[in-house]
Each structure stands twice: as C-alpha cells, then as structure tokens.
Structure 1
Amino acid sequence: MDEIIHINREEESLHDFHEAVASSMENIESILILLESGSRSHSEYRRLYDEYSHIIGKLINQSHAIDVSEFIKIFDQIKNFLNTIEKHNIELSGRICEPLLMIMDRIHFMADDAATYSEIRKTSYEEIANSLSEYSKITRANSEQVIDKTIKILTGFCKEIPPPPKIEIKQQPEKPKETSIPQKKYPSVSDIKRPSKLVQLVKDEDKLEDDLAFFKGLADEVDLIHKEWRDRTNFIMPLALGMNALAGNIVDFYQLQAAVYLHDVGMRFLPDELLEEKGHFTEEQRTQLLAHPSWAIENFNLMDGWEEAAWIVYQHHEKFDGTGYPEGTTGKEICHGAQILAICDAFYSIMNRNRKRSVLRAIAEINACRGGHFAPEWVNIFNNVLTIERNAGRFD
C-alpha cells in the first residue's frame, strides 16, 4: 500500500478548507476550458493567475488550523509554470491546457482525501509535483515533447506499447464472508462459491450460448433504464476483455463476459429517484445501493456453471485499499475479474458524467486512483489497452 502523508487539522476548519479548494477548482477549470477552446484573451490568463494567487492566500490564512503545506507548494509550482510560459511568450491555449486540467483533477482528489481521512497518499502528491516539475521545463522549442512527457506522468499513456506487467495469481477463498446487507430484505449470497480453478465451468456449448444471450438481454434492459446509460455494456465489454487478454486471459473469457452483462442488473430494482441522485444519499438509499451486487447474483443462481461470474459481480465494488463494499476486501483478495470490471466501469462513469471531459483527462483520473481504488498492476494494463485503442483510432 502507498505511504501516507498525515494532515494535522482542527475539525472546524475542515469544511472551510474543502470548500475553498472545491470553489477554486471549479473557477480554474472553467477558465482553462475556455482557454483550451481557443480563447486568446490576456484577461483570461490574468484571471487564471489571480485565481491561483487567491487560493494560496486562503490556504495560508487557514494554515494555523490545518496543515496545507503540500497544497501551497503545488499551487506555487503552478504559478511558477504560468510565469514560465509568459516569459517564453507561449500561448496558453489548446493542448497545453490539458495537463493543467489533469493536475486540477488530481488536486481535487487529494483535497477530498485530506478532508475525509486527514491524510493524502504520498504517490499522489509526488506525481503532481513531478508532472509540474516536468511541465515547468517548457519552451517554445520543446513544448510538444514536454506536453507528451507530462501527460505520460499523469496518465501512463505512451505511444509505444510496453509489455504487460506480470499479474500474480492468488487463490481466492471458497466463498465470501457473511455480507453486512440484511438477509431478510435482500437475497442471500451465502451459496456463492469461488471455483478452485480459473476455467470455463459451462461445458455445454448450446447452454453457454443460451445463457449468455439471456444475460445480454438483461443487460440491454438495464442500459435503457437511464438515458445516460445507453450503450454502456458495449462500451465496457471490449475494454474488459482487452485487459484480460493483455494479462494472458487470466479470467475465463465467458465468465468475464457474463459478469460484464450482469454486474449492474440489480439497478433494475432501485427506485428512480435513487438513480437520479448525485451522491447525497439517505441511509436507506445507501443501504439499497450497497445491495445491488447481491441482487444480480440471483440471476446467476438460476443457472449452473456461472460461479466465477457471480464472484466477479459480488466483488466489483471492492477497492484495493479496502474502502469498497460489500465487505471492505483489500488488495489481492479481490478477484482479478472484479478488479478489471471495477476499472472499466469507473472509466465509463467518468466519460459519461461529463461530456466535456477529454479521454486523456479520464485516463488520468483512473491513474489518480492507482494504489487507492485500483491495483497498480491492473491500472498499468488498462493504460496499455487504452494505448492500443487510441492507436487504432478509438477514443480520439
């Protein structure tokens, strides 16, 4: 797990700190998007510089109550970068804004961690600092090379495809621990058994095709529930299968395919108002949301041979650092299929929630969760798959 930087703070200052960063991030993002789109107004540049100065001033004023030294250092680095491009008469527009937007996302995540856990991951801070250090080397002559190097630090994306990292195969337990979801209200998952080997369990070819057709039909229904979910399965499926293929098909092809089809089929049973909610859930809504992987398992229990897929679905909301659900499983105790599905599902959500967000910025957001939500080795494989996809003309 990552080394942690602890943030000393007074509780009453926490809300003010987070609000200050969030408000400034929103203003800065708006200015950068305007500049990225081609606005060449010098006033926009000055607004951007002033916004960074403003947030630094706010953080300095709060430094008596909360340790924000890492954040002040980063914002100072950004101001130095802006001074550099002004010195070299480099226009702040187009592609040059992309790394700054990625860095803003990283800072926002780091502020969320500081506010929620009173700590930040050291690698998060170092990647931001390293990317800014690289970006500050920019001149008119080397701008394209420096932009490429900075983006690579933030996304893992590169034009050449490196060999896939080795994935350690670890035997999983025979069945999950008891879930904290109330069993009287939600389907039991006690009968889910993890197969002892990663092999195809459905031996009858006709049955396999019939089952997958049934699962696909359910997935198509789920994709039509919400207007923002259209074509979701078709987006996730090639990424998940591609990641698995690049890792040497460590998960059975058909089991993973079935899991992609059914991973969110439990959403069919959630009320419409919960699906429209943007994160501020009541306790009852949160309990319902946490239960949806268990509901999907009922479909697998109707048919023999899909234990591996059921296990993937059950664990696909677990996180590498143990902050996921339903059990808070950590690290390599999360099965490979669930780790693949978690990354692909998150990537779809990032791309879908903000149509203005570029693909590279979405990739950077996945990489920001390396070692936190996602296993580093699987993020590397995701980066390699996206490299292949982009070289083939997808996600341009």
Structure 2
Amino acid sequence: MDIRAVISPTVHDREALEEFADALTDRAPEVERDVARLKKSQGDREITADLFRAIHNIKGDAALCKFDLGIAIAHPIESMMSRFREGEIGFSDLLAETILLAIDRLELATDAVLNRKPLESLRLLDLVQGLEKISRASGERVDADCAELIEAVTGFPPVISSMSGKSPKTAIPKSEHANVSNDLHFFRSLATQFESRSPLFKGRTMRVLRLALETNRTAGNPIDPLQLEAAVYMHDIGMMLLPEENWLKVGKLSESDKAQLRNHPGYAAGLLQRMAGWETAAEIVAQHHEMPGGAGYPQGLNSESICPGAKILAIVDAFEAVMLKHIHRGKNRSVLRAIAEINACDKQFAPEWIAPFNAVIRKTIES
C-alpha cells in the first residue's frame, strides 16, 4: 500500500475521477442491497457472487480512472469476499458493517478530493490498514478486528441500538408566558403537518427534538429548553411555503432549487418573530443553516454571530438528514456510519457542540 495515495490522493485526471464518482453513486446501493441480502442468506452463492462483483467493479472503476485510494479500499474488501466465498471466514454483522462503512468513507473521500476538501477527519489510513488486517485475519479474529476498525474510524464502539422516535420525557417548566403550552401544541401540530407531506419524514420531529434536548442537557442546559423545543418544531415549516417539487425532490437539486430552499429559515423565523415570547426560538430557526466558517445561509454568519441553539439544531438536523439521505435508493444507514459522517464534516458544525452530541449518541448506542 502506498500511504501517500491514502492520506494525500493525487488527481491524475479530474474528468476520470468525476466519472468514478458517478459510477460509485450507482454501485454503492448495489453493495448496500447485497450486504443486506447476504446477512439474511449467507449460504446463497448467487448473492455472494453479486456482492463480490459489485466490489470488484468498484475496484476496476478506480483502476481505470487511476484513483489509487479507491483501489486501496476496494481491494481488501474483495479479498474478504473471496475468503468468504471459499468458506474461510463467516459473514457476520460486524463484517457487514465494516464493508458498508468502508464504502461510505470512499464516497466521502471521493467527494472531498473532487472539491479540494481536507481528508484528515475521514481517518482513511486507519480504514485502509484495518481493512488489510481483516483481509488476512483468521476466522476467529475477523469480528474482533472489525470492531477495532469501526471504533478507530468512527470513534464509537460497534454496539448499535435503534434510535427511538418517542417523545422525550421532559416536564415543561414554569414560564412567564401564560400561553406557552398552547403555543407549543400549535407548533407541534404544524410540524406534524409537515411530516405528513412525505412518508420519509415520519417520526422525524421527535427524533430531532430528543437529540437536541439531550445534547443541551448534557452541556448543562445553557439554552432555554422551551425555546429550543419550539425551534425544533418550527425550523422546517418554511418549506411548506415553497413549491413542493423543490423540497420533496429526489436526486440532485438545481441551483434555482437551492436558491429557493435557502429562503425557508427566514419564513419560519418570521412567523415566530410575530408571536410574543419566542424571539430566541426565532433566532435559532433563522440561523440553523449557518456554519462557523461563514459558508452557511442565509446570511453567511461566522461562529461568534451564530446563537448556541442554532449550532445544536444544525448538528442534530444534519444527523437526521444523513440517516435518511440515501433512503430513496434503499440504503439502510446505521447510527455509527451517520455519526461518523457528521464528525468528518469538521468545518460545518460548531466544535464546542460536537462533544456533547457525541456523548448523547454514545449513550444511545451503548445502552
């Protein structure tokens, strides 16, 4: 393995790399599908052949496009599948999760290279070295080595439980506003209406709310929980004021689509600003797509100008989006792979809130 090809990939031919990225977008769902099928039917030689072929094709695409990083990731997975096909190792849940994590990382790395983004947070060297170790491991060592790789790359042990969409058990504290409960009930009813526009959104509000409130609580509740709750209910309501063909669109958005979508925080914040007592919630909603480095929208604020509640909401909303972003192609993204992707986007989120959020996720997956 050429370490330089992993930690600092060279773009020999940008057009070829773009072709690899497009092919990977098509092939990754094949891997996801075949891994899920093989977990249920390990003895099925046809499914085994399909998964081997999908990985082999990714490796071949990478070689054709002279993308050495793609070869470095795909080759040891191909070796694992060859050993499984010959009966030398089993196909465990941990091995399946390792393969999916590796393909996720390859997608992120390819995008990062194309867009000249830093790669350090992807821990690609740990990934490739771990894959090579697993590809040579004895059958008894495979699961242990998979667990070691997953924790090295994601920062979390491979113990996964379901993310509950149930309402968090938090009492509503006393407030100076007599209509707080009625207002929150109204905000929640609007969120429910938003969720009803697509089956993909079912349970989304309560999942985001639970993560936001628990992240805030882990940090000592520096943000008024009521204001944060209202912001969670209302943050995407502005979408309902846009053409549905824009915000329910599957696939890539046009620049015109993106321009229209950037209006939604302002619409929702405007509604809250016109209701007495919800000024903080309005600010959270208005800023929840801002980024610390100034690359967010709608105002391009820097970290010092973004309120803490917006920083929390940005993280938990993105986590939910990552969990769902490939669902239209049948991709069953695990909690571990989603949190790994959030942690890899080190320029997008406020670093002071990543640690409390990670603590909440760690508690969730280890409980």
Which range, TM-score by smaller chain? 0.7 to 0.9
How far is the alpha carbon of 1:17 from its aligned partner? 2.5
In structure 2, C-alpha distance between the alignment counterparts of 1:375 and 1:82, rounded to whole Å: 39
Aligned partners of 2:151 and 2:158 also within 8 Å: no
Deviations 1:345-367 (A, max 9, x none): 22323334527515335534544
> Does 1:225 pair with 2:197?
yes
> Does 1:37 pair with 2:40?
yes
Aligned partners of 2:94 and 2:147 also within 8 Å: no
> Does 1:70 pair with 2:69?
yes
TM-score, scaled relative to structure 1:
0.74
Greater helix fraction, Structure 1 or Structure 2: 2
- Identical-residue share of aligned pairs (%): 29
How far is the alpha carbon of 1:136 from its aligned partner? 4.5
Deviations 1:91-150 (A, max 9, x none): 1244421121122112112222223x1445233133533543564474333344333323
- Amino acid aligned to 1:229: F
In structure 2, C-alpha distance between the alignment counterparts of 1:98 and 1:111, rounded to whole Å: 20
Aligned partners of 1:159 and 1:387 also within 8 Å: no
Equivalenced residues, count:
343
Question: CA 1:215–1:96 in 2, change beyond 3 Å: closer, same or farther?
Answer: same
In structure 1, C-alpha distance between the alignment counterparts of 2:15 and 2:193, rounded to whole Å: 46
After the TM superposition, which of the residue ranges 357-366 and 225-234 deviates more from structure 2? 357-366
> Does 1:240 pair with 2:238?
no
Q: Which residues of structure 1 form unaligned runs of 5+? A: 161-201
TM-score, scaled relative to structure 2:
0.79
Aligned to 1:171: none
Question: CA 1:150–1:298 in 2, change beyond 3 Å: closer, same or farther?
Answer: same
Deviations 1:173-199 (A, max 9, x none): xxxxxxxxxxxxxxxxxxxxxxxxxxx
Aligned to 1:52: 55
- Amino acid aligned to 2:15: E
Aligned to 2:252: 280
In structure 2, C-alpha distance between the alignment counterparts of 1:228 and 1:38, rounded to whole Å: 28
Aligned to 2:335: 360
> Does 1:389 pair with 2:361?
no
Aligned to 1:121: 119
How far is the alpha carbon of 1:237 from its aligned partner? 0.8
How far is the alpha carbon of 1:14 from its aligned partner? 4.2
In structure 2, C-alpha distance between the alignment counterparts of 1:16 and 1:159, rounded to whole Å: 33
Aligned partners of 2:31 and 2:51 also within 8 Å: yes
How far is the alpha carbon of 1:386 from its aligned partner? 2.4
SS at match of 2:91: coil
1:216 to 151, 176, 188: 188
Q: Which residues of structure 2 form unaligned runs of 5+? A: 1-6, 160-173
Deviations 1:227-278 (A, max 9, x none): 3323321221111101111122132212211111111110120122223212
In structure 1, C-alpha distance between the alignment counterparts of 2:158 and 2:336, rounded to whole Å: 16
Aligned partners of 1:134 and 1:149 also within 8 Å: no
> Does 1:336 pair with 2:339?
no
- Amino acid aligned to 2:33: S
